[in-house]
Amino acid sequence: MTFLLKKFINRLFSGRKEFEPVRGYNLWSDSYDDQPDNLILSLDDLLFRRLTGSVKIEGAVIADIGCGTGRHWETIFSRHPAHITGFDVSQGMLTVLIKKFPGAETYLLRNENLAPLQTGACDILISTLAIAHMPNLRSVFIEWARVLKPGGQILVTDFHPRALEMGSRRSFNYQGKKLAVKRFIYPVEMVLAQASQAHLECQYLEELKVDESMKGYYEKKNALQAYDRFYGVPIIYGLILKKNHAFSKS
């Protein structure tokens, strides 16, 4: 994203504590990959590797929904998929991804529409740290089920709703200001219920809680008070969903 565009967006929305995902991630895009001490990203990496270890990536046609800068694409490509397509609401994030993976097939995502993908086109869908930004879970899962083959799988990670309820935010520093991206709080049970209505069955669920192994992340940010507050609280979760039936809008 150009400097002038970032300056315009920052001035237009100055004073707002939370940004819509499009604007927030456009501002965050240039620095998103430079977060070495980000606990959530570290746990997301851990969960993602566990999830992908349970599915067959080799030869798979994959769609990454909310792909961002393609943080997980090196892990995916190391398993030799047939093809991967990225979707994101932020052009800034997609621009960073394409710099890292020239020639990548990406699309700007509006609402939940995956129109570039034919029905039953994908073996695997991926969505990491994105569901809480989506306003209509029912429509999301219906569309995801549409593009999945019967037997196809969906890998999901996201902020845990319990942590969000206690005040966790997707926040970042921009020009000396602390900004955050708007999110919804969806209980895990609600996510699973909406998925079930789209004929998506939960095969695996894992929730990671704040424990002593994570204390160092809080120490580096001088946030031990937050560590004490969140100790024992689930902070991120991961899911594997499987499509068991042919797509139907009924």
Per-residue pLDDT tens, the chain, 250 aa: give them: 443 443 443 444 344 478 999 999 999 999 999 998 999 999 999 999 999 999 999 999 999 999 999 999 999 999 999 999 999 999 999 999 999 999 999 999 988 899 999 999 999 999 999 999 999 999 999 999 999 999 999 999 999 999 999 999 899 989 889 999 999 999 999 999 999 999 999 999 999 999 999 999 999 999 999 999 999 999 999 999 999 875 555 4
* 59 vs 64: CA distance, rounded Å: 15
* 119 vs 246: CA distance, rounded Å: 10
Q: 16-243 in CATH: which number?
A: 3.40.50.150
* 53 vs 47: CA distance, rounded Å: 10
* 21 vs 168: CA distance, rounded Å: 16
